[in-house]
Amino acid sequence: MTTHELRTWPHAYTAVAEGRKTFEVRRNDRGFAVGDVLVLREWATLAGVGAYTGRALQRDVTYLIDLTPFGCPE
C-alpha cells in the first residue's frame, strides 16, 4: 500500500466531500494500485497564486481502469 498526496481543485474537492464524486481520473504516472490511499488536498488559486487551503480528504483506491484501449490519450 502506498499513500499518494494529490492536489484537488475546490469544485472537485467539494463534490468528493459531499459524496457526489466517487472517482478520480488521473494519468497513472505514480503507479497507482488497488489498495493505495489518496490524500486529496484542496488547492486554490487567488490572484494568480496557488496554495493549499488546509482541507484534505483520504480515500482508498478500490478500482483502476486502463482507458488506452478506448482511445483516451495519456
> Of 1, 20, 2, 16, which Cα lies nearest the Cα of 56?
16
Does pLDDT of 74 surpass 70?
no
In this structure, the number of other CB atoms found within 10 A of the CB of residue 55 comes to 15
What pTM was estimated for this model as a whole?
A: 0.84
The answer to whether the beta carbons of residues 72 and 54 sit under 8 Å apart is no
Residue with cell 488506452: 68
Interval 8-39: pLDDT, tens? 999 999 999 999 999 988 888 899 999 999 99
